[in-house]
């Protein structure tokens, strides 16, 4: 309890755990774990103010609380986007161990809050340091899609279409997600054949829905877009 490093690493590990629980669509357990993290990160900073990486975790919690109604079926927690950016931006623009994680997080925040061009800028900065990084590519694809830059989004999706199977050949979650986003981009460009090809690939994995988190959502979305793009 008197070790600032222990508080820092325990807090960040638990925050990562909360993130994975959220990815598993277990919102309430994720929320419970997340709300127990801040005291540890604050304790780390109280003992050693130079542990700036702790501010990334605190900023992530602040941002989630500020936008909690998106993830917790209307439950709204008190949080401040302004405080979240103030905590995370210096980590993203600094030189700490968690700089890349902070850059991914702030790109996500900017995209979610509608500043897609700024989000793309952080993604490009990440890719300059880590060429081919899948998290940065995925974030940039989504920011480009949200900015209605559909051709650019699809182009990044092609790169992901190659990179993901090389690293994780059976990752149906990431592969299906990329096909859906790219399919929508092609559909919105009027390229129905290219769009339907990707949607049909996702629907073909329908039998795996019980084994892959989020795949039922992607299959359902692909079917909806197939109807929209029907000949």
* pLDDT at residue number 70: 62
d(CA 144, CA 127): 15
Q: Quick one: CA dihedral 151, 191, 111, 214, positive or negative?
A: negative
Give pLDDT tens digits along the chain (231 positions). 899 999 999 999 999 999 899 888 788 888 889 889 999 999 999 999 988 889 999 999 999 888 766 655 555 567 788 999 999 999 999 888 889 999 999 999 999 999 999 999 999 999 999 999 999 999 999 999 999 999 999 999 999 999 999 999 899 999 999 999 999 999 999 999 999 999 999 999 999 999 998 999 999 999 999 999 986
* pLDDT at residue number 76: 58
* pLDDT at residue number 194: 96
173 within 8 A of 211, measured Cβ to Cβ: no
In order of 65, 112, 117, 214, 229, the CA distances from 23 in angstroms are 17, 17, 26, 8, 29
Residue 5 CA, distance from chain mean position: 27
* pLDDT at residue number 147: 97
* pLDDT at residue number 77: 62
* pLDDT at residue number 148: 97
37 within 8 A of 61, measured Cβ to Cβ: yes
* pLDDT at residue number 30: 87
Q: Quick one: CA dihedral 143, 144, 145, 147, positive or negative?
A: positive
Instruction: Return contacts of 37-43, CB within 8 angstroms, 24+ apart.
Output: 37/11, 37/61, 38/11, 40/7, 40/8, 40/10, 40/11, 40/14, 41/7, 41/8, 41/11, 41/12, 43/4, 43/7
* pLDDT at residue number 7: 97
At which residue do the structure tokens 């940065």 appear? 136
The conformation of residue 212, written as its DSSP 8-state character, comes to: S
Residue 52: in which H helix or E strand, if any?
A: none
Q: Quick one: CA dihedral 129, 143, 59, 175, positive or negative?
A: negative
d(CA 193, CA 208): 25
Q: What is the dihedral angle through the alpha carbons of 215, 217, 219, 224, rounded to the nearest 10 degrees?
A: -170
Q: Is 224 exposed, middle or buried (0-12, 13-18, 19+ CB in 10 A)?
A: exposed
């Amino acid at each position: 309890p008197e070790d600032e490093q222990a508080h820092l690493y325990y807090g960040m590990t638990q925050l990562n755990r909360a993130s994975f629980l959220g990815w598993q669509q277990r919102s309430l357990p994720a929320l419970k774990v997340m709300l127990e993290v801040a005291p540890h990160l604050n304790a780390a900073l109280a003992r050693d103010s130079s542990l700036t990486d702790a501010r990334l975790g605190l900023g992530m919690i602040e941002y989630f609380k500020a936008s909690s109604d998106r993830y917790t079926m209307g439950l709204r927690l008190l949080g401040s986007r302004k405080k979240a950016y103030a905590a995370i931006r210096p980590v993203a623009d600094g030189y700490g161990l968690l700089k890349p994680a902070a850059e991914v997080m702030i790109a996500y925040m900017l995209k979610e809050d509608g500043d897609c061009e700024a989000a793309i800028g952080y993604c490009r900065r990440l890719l300059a340091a880590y060429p081919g990084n899948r998290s940065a590519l995925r974030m940039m694809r989504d920011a480009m899609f949200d900015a209605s830059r559909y051709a650019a989004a699809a182009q990044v999706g092609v790169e992901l279409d190659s990179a993901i199977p090389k690293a994780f050949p059976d990752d149906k979650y990431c592969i299906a997600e990329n096909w859906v986003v790219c399919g929508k981009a092609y559909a919105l460009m009027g390229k129905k054949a290219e769009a339907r090809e990707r949607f049909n690939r996702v629907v073909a994995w329908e039998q795996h829905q019980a084994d892959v988190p989020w795949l039922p959502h992607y299959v359902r979305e692909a079917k909806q877009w197939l109807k929209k793009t029907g000949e």
